[in-house]
Structure 1
Amino acid sequence: MATSRCCPRPSHALQHVFRTSLRPNASPPTFLLPAFFSTTAPTLSKIGRAPLSLPPEVNFTVTRAQPHRSGSSSAQTGSTVEIAGPKGKLAVHMPAYMSLVDNDDGGKTKTLAVLDAEVRAQREMWGTVRAYLANHILGVSEGHTAILRLVGVGYRATIEASAITKQPAYPGQKFVSLKVGYSHPIELGVPEGVTASTPQPTRILLEGVEKEVVMQFAAEIRQWRKPEPYKGKGIFVNDETIKLKAKKIK
């Protein structure tokens, strides 16, 4: 005598799925649709089209590069913007699809424009180039600074005219000497265009025209003693803070 197997009856939800799947052009049930956290449209960044304020002592010079021919086709390499001020002189390369437009305010502001804002590559570089221009305008007019705080018992920093372990990369280069818990002092050469000073034994002040160079050197100094979360010791850059963890109990 053959035994019959009893299969459990599917639930009402699965029966509904089976019935709707057999119908032509039937929409799936709502519980199978993907859930979206937000129904608002994405908002694009407006950094690129924000106007650039020009101080009276800052001069803008745009040099359009000549197109170079490669076989039968010619391509433009873009233009170079030279920004000069009381602190120094910097240059920014702009792609060929970007241009600076004078606003109707007597030359006090300029706006960066692209050839076609619908092209993704142009939109991506729009805000980046505008940020570089704004940083360079501030650098040549006021300068960029970075303040490093040395937190720890015995942590000290000094500025030396020469180093024992390194040779100067350019004439007159100075070195930052760190005493941050190692058996020997750490000597780091100050990059060209950056001025380093120690208002206090536990403070390092970096000043320079180019923001990227100043912050990169600050990151190299911080690399030797990153802030740790248990005692709060380390080298902190500007307003950097750290959340302390509870001490480990054995």
Structure 2
Amino acid sequence: MFAPRIGRQALQRAVTATPSSTVTLPSFLVPAFQTPSTTTLTTTQPTGFSSRRAFSATSQRPSKLGRIPLSLPPGVELEIGDLFVKKDVTSYLRTFKRKLTVTGPLGKLDLEIPDFIQLDHDTEGRKVALSVQDRDQATQRAMWGTTWAYLNNYIMGVSEGHTAVLRLVGIGYRATVEARPGREEYPGQEFVCLKLGFSHPVEMGLPKGVRGSAPQPTRVLLEGIDKEVIMQFAADIRKWRVPEPYKGKGIFVNDETIKLKQKKIK
């Protein structure tokens, strides 16, 4: 019913059996049988077609975020430092970094970027364009968009600031922001005091550069210029009462939601 199946070795012997003859094969089978000892194969492939090509002939596309120029708002200045050697504790290799300083009305932030990230700073147009030295390397392509996101957060942080809202959902859950004299790690530090159903209140000191307030008993507002520090502190608070899917209780960060499950019926 079906034609007999021809294996690779049988077809290879058929190709090499007559050295003086010319065998015609489809173009998609030529790369599989071309070796230094193989006879000359005549195919119907178009002129200029390479017999050996990579699995994908598509060129590496640039990063969707990294290729977008960043705009500097009024009052924000960007300073690009020189290259320096940074010692990595996990490797013996020397890594070269470049320091960027972003200054704005709300403060100043420093960012260290790899040496293969190239910046084109247009001072007159107040724009910054990012690029990499070699787009074929996966590490450089990955850090292209990552560096763009970090720099964008820094620019927004020193000009407008970042916020995080924590919602306390649960009976008896309360939060206040108070000072605790004698327990301060730096002058003027405040503490977020949480009542989450434990036998003791939970007190967590605000990181330096982060301001906190409790506009409502079940709301905590965090403000600052460094988004990474704010969201990390919000995650540390969330660990005390992770949202659970049966009653919907817990500490929710920003627009976080959870899908409720049905109760287990025995």
TM-score (norm 2): 0.74
> Contact 2:62–2:141 at 8 Å: present in 1 too?
no
2:245 corresponds to: 229
Per-residue CA deviations over 1:186-230 (Å, capped at 9, x if unaligned) read 011110010010000000000010000000000000000000000
Per-residue CA deviations over 1:34-53 (Å, capped at 9, x if unaligned) read xxxxx9x7966421221111
Q: Secondary structure at the match of 1:199?
A: strand
How far apart are residue 66 of structure 1 and its match?
Answer: 5.5
Aligned residues: 217
Per-residue CA deviations over 1:147-188 (Å, capped at 9, x if unaligned) read 00000000000111017xx93221221111110111110011
Q: Determine the C-alpha separation between the residues in 2 that align with 1:249 and 1:97.
A: 58
2:145 corresponds to: 127
Q: Determine the C-alpha separation between the residues in 2 that align with 1:65 and 1:176.
A: 40
- State the identity as a percent: 54
2:108 corresponds to: 89
Q: Secondary structure at the match of 1:239?
A: coil
1:79 aligns with 2:66: no
Matches within 5 A, 1:15-30: 16-17=4-5, 19-20=6-7, 23-25=10-12
Q: Determine the C-alpha separation between the residues in 2 that align with 1:67 and 1:182.
A: 49
Structure 2 residue corresponding to 1:136, chosen from 151, 154, 161: 154
How far apart are residue 129 of structure 1 and its match?
Answer: 1.1
Report the AA paired with residue 101 of structure 1: D
Q: Determine the C-alpha separation between the residues in 2 that align with 1:24 and 1:102.
A: 60
Per-residue CA deviations over 1:51-82 (Å, capped at 9, x if unaligned) read 111101101111113679xxxxxx78332110
Matches within 5 A, 1:196-235: 196-235=212-251
Q: Determine the C-alpha separation between the residues in 1 that align with 2:215 and 2:72.
A: 32
> Contact 2:168–2:174 at 8 Å: present in 1 too?
yes
How far apart are residue 22 of structure 1 and its match?
Answer: 6.2
TM-score (norm 1): 0.78
1:240 corresponds to: 256
Q: Determine the C-alpha separation between the residues in 2 that align with 1:51 and 1:24.
A: 55
User: Which range is displaced more, 56-65 or 136-145?
Assistant: 56-65
**Structure 2 stretches lacking a partner, 5+ long:** 15-55, 87-93
> Contact 1:65–1:76 at 8 Å: present in 2 too?
no
Per-residue CA deviations over 1:119-168 (Å, capped at 9, x if unaligned) read 222212111111110000000000000000000000000111017xx932
Report the AA paired with residue 24 of structure 1: L
